[in-house]
Chain A
Amino acid sequence: MSKPLSPILAHAVLLAATAVMLLPLAWMVSTSLKQSGLGMARGIEWLPWKDVCYEDGGTIDVVTLGARVHLLPDGKTIEVGLKSLASRSKVTAVHVPEGTFEAEVIAYRVRPVTHDERTAEARWAPWASVQRRIAPRWRNYTEALTKMRFWACLANTLAVTFLGTLGTILSSSLVGYGFARFRFPGRGFLFLVLLSTMMLPPIVTMIPVYLLFRELHWIDTLLPLFVPSWFGINAFAVFLFRQYYMTLPFDLDDAARIDGCTALGIYTRILLPLARPVVATVGIFCFTHYWLDFMGPLIYLNTIEKFTLMLGLYMFKGAYTTQWRYLMAATLVVSLPCMLLFLFGQRFFVRGVVLSGLKV
């Protein structure tokens, strides 16, 4: 690490860049908490507002549609849409096609929010009786999750992620053990073949593999998504295990053999337990890989009951294409596990990336 030219300048640059990177995430959170009637406002609104109207001693929720304003320069009274108002104060600038004028708001056009989806009659309410309040709409989350059938999708994703990750760890640690600890004819060549499969675009094998699973009647089941992982074909994982075993001294194996351990026993009792850091790294990588996999589910799954979260989210987007508060709520929930895993397991993330980047 180098010393910065000027710490203050460095912080300024980094803070600005971080803000830009995190802005889309902040906008996602903000959108996910908004009330209906989005897009009625002029400008960017980060906080989830709700309008209420005082009436007969109580308040009711309303959506503000427009306003009747008194133009200050010439005293004319006009009605404008809400988007024309620059602010919600009593005296505000109003943007109309003729230009921008100072104006005094007399009344707002409001429509009460009904909870049974019926549209209520819009009416005029005096300026003072309409107020904005910060009101995050938490129900967006429960409603969005119900609509996208979140729990069913979650069960499928958990199954695929768990079985895929477990399969990769077990099979690649076993294959890595074979390559690291035994001498056999063709070892170097086979290892090279294994490494070169990392370069192969999945699209090349996709169609025959699909046809194979179709012959097995595995289409529209979760099996095609995780079964291949049990065959040690994740070259990167095998590579990491093999490299790690190579750093462990052979004396360990010899001592165990003298104590009567078989070759399999050496793997299960000695080497695999010692390879815990690689298990963590490979595990975290596989978890995010299977959690985020989109093309696999897209190709193999047809019925809603079988959908994984990513496919469910994609289908949800197709059905609720303009309901962004629902879409953003669902997106946030679905992405949260990987974000949390990253924030708490950063060490292993970084190690995996570093190993993949520097030793190939």
Chain B
Amino acid sequence: MSNRRIRESLNGYLFISPWIVGFCVFIAGPMVASLLLSFCRYDPSAVRESVRWAGLANYTRLFTDDPLFWKSLSVTFRYSIVSIPLQLAGGLALALLLNQRLRGIAGYRAAFYLPVVLGGVATSLIWMWLFSSSQGLINIGLARLFDFLGRDSWISIAIARSLQSVFGKVEEGSLLPGWTSSERGALNSLILMSLWGLGGSMIINLAGLQAIPKVFYEAAEVDGAGRWSRFWRITLPLLSPTIFFNLIMGIIGSFQVFTQGFIMTGGGPNYATHFYVLYAYRNGFEYFKMGYASALAWILFLIILAFTLVVVRSSSAWVYYEAQKR
């Protein structure tokens, strides 16, 4: 190598050196450490703090002797399975709606994205108040509606029954849904709440829609294609990379939900919203079982990795790249 090339290489390494240090100290090192910890027993709050090798004990206990592990896994799966498709379809529908030439369209877009910038804590507090079973806006509104329709009329009862089948009951005999206070409705209520953040995937879809060259639509129109077939044959295929990206981000995000469960329900009632990361957090930072928490974290990592890989592998079958301007 010439002197110049060596100098260039050295300069390159020098400029990326903050990242190399940061990667080793905050990412690679901790990953190795947490993998090792997951085979240990470690309680930093104990009087005589010690790390003891435990072999596969943490993993054996997780899989054979910890109902809460299975419960939080199933809660998280159920949340993801319902909320990811809702987010994908809702975000797409919203983007199609907002991709029109209309007066004031920028204002509509801003309004839909606004809830996204509130963050988890504020969103949780606002929705706790909306969901409050006795004083919340939703239940007061429903009570008024039932008063108006007549409490015993068939239509009130039909509305109440269908809401209660998804969102639980306040108490026996009441027409009102219980939302986050009922075991049956808590998880579904949090899913409903997650739709308030639809603006996030809407913005990405909108950008994807606007990147589709107009000539495709013009050509299709000349060929006599209707709205419906233009959507199925142009929009959807050309938007598939965006949908793919939203799907991956949805998987990564929804398997890691924490704040809502932590703040709004504390994982309850009766573990109905006991999310996986909440359980890992509690093991690590409330019960100080850091070895066990590390094992939990690694299992989550492998699950997310597996799902992501499946989606990536499957993408060649349904993601259409050619026409995308790159």
Contacts and interface: CB of A to CB of B under 8 A. Distances in A.
B14 A292 contact: no
Interface of B: 5, 8-16, 18-23, 25-27, 29-31, 33-34, 37, 44, 94, 97-103, 106, 108, 110-115, 117-122, 125-130, 132, 134-135, 137, 140-141, 144, 147, 196, 199-200, 203-204, 207-208, 210-211, 217, 227, 241-242, 245-246, 252, 255-256, 258-259, 263, 277, 280-281, 284-285, 290, 293-294, 297-298, 300-301, 304-305, 308, 326
A206 B118 contact: no
A106 interface: no
A339 B15 contact: no
Interface stretch (A25-33, A60-68, A111-119): A25-33
A124 interface: no
Given A18-B111, A39-B135, A350 B207 contact: yes
B135 A201 contact: no
A171 interface: yes
B301 A207 contact: no
A1 B44 contact: no
Given A3-B100, A201-B301, A294 B25 contact: no
Contacts of A356: 204
A171 B97 CA distance: 40
Interface stretch (A128-136, A158-166, A225-233): A225-233
A204 B298 contact: yes
A313 B134 CA distance: 23
B290 A24 contact: no
Interface in A278-296: 288, 291-292, 294-295
A21 B115 contact: yes
Nearest to A330: B125
Interface residues of A, number: 95
Interface stretch (A48-56, A70-78, A137-145, A186-194): A186-194
B129 A324 contact: yes
B285 A327 contact: no
Contacts of A250: none
Contacts of A327: 125, 129
Contacts of A199: 252, 304-305, 308
B166 to A, nearest CB: 18
B30 A212 contact: yes
Interface centre among B12, B29, B103, B277 (most CB of A within 10 A): B12
Q: Is the interface of B mostly helix, strand, loop or mixed?
A: helix
Given A43-B144, A207-B37, A193 B23 contact: yes
A175 B99 contact: no
Given A1-B210, A39-B135, A358-B242, A175 B19 contact: yes
Interface in A175-203: 175, 177-179, 181-185, 187, 190, 193-194, 197, 199-203
B120 A358 contact: no
Nearest to A202: B256
B117 A342 contact: yes
Given A39-B135, A231-B26, A343 B14 contact: no
Contacts of A184: 8-10, 12-13
Contacts of A339: 114, 117-118
Contact of B9 (A181, A182, A288): A182
B99 A2 contact: yes
A149 interface: no
Given A184-B13, A205-B30, A207-B34, A11 B23 contact: no
Given A331-B122, A353-B207, A174 B117 contact: no
A185 B9 contact: yes
A208 interface: yes
A38 B30 contact: no
B301 A174 contact: no
25 contacts: A1-B101, A4-B101, A4-B102, A17-B97, A24-B115, A28-B129, A31-B129, A39-B135, A178-B15, A182-B12, A183-B5, A197-B23, A231-B26, A233-B19, A233-B27, A294-B120, A310-B119, A310-B121, A339-B118, A341-B117, A342-B110, A343-B114, A350-B203, A358-B204, A358-B242
